[in-house]
Structure 1
C-alpha cells in the first residue's frame, strides 16, 4: 500500500495498487482505471501521467 507520510513533502513511497493508467491519444489525456473491474476512475486535464500509478502497455 502506498504511504504518504510525512504529510506535506509531496512524495509517495511505493506504488498505488489495484490501479493502472492508460494514455488516450484522441484527447491527449491519461485515464486511471480500476484493476479489479476495469472501470475508468479519473482523467487528468494537464496531459501529465498520474504519480505512482503503473502504466498499461500499449496494444
Structure 2
C-alpha cells in the first residue's frame, strides 16, 4: 500500500482523485473541474496551476 510519508512535509504523492484542471486563455487563469460531473469548481487568482491536480490537454 502506498504511503504519503513523511507526514507533515506538505507534499502529496500522486494526483488528487476525480479532479482535473484546464487553462483558460481568455482570462489567463487555471480552472479546476470535477471529473465526474464535468462542472467547473474553482479558479486560481494567480497564474500558477493547482498543486497535485492533473492537467487536461487543450482541445484545438
**Which TM-score tier does this pair reach, normalised by the shorter chain?**
0.7 to 0.9
Q: Which runs of 5+ in 2 are unaligned?
A: none
Aligned residues: CA RMSD? 1.6
Q: TM-score, normalised by structure 1?
A: 0.84
Runs (4+) of structure 1 moved beyond 4 Å? none
* Distance in 2 between residues matched to 1:36 and 1:25, nearest whole Å: 24
Q: TM-score, normalised by structure 2?
A: 0.83
* Distance in 1 between residues matched to 2:5 and 2:56, nearest whole Å: 23
* Distance in 2 between residues matched to 1:4 and 1:41, nearest whole Å: 29
Deviations 1:1-45 (A, max 9, x none): xx58623x2211111010000000011000000000001111001
Greater C-alpha Rg: 2
How many residue pairs get matched?
56
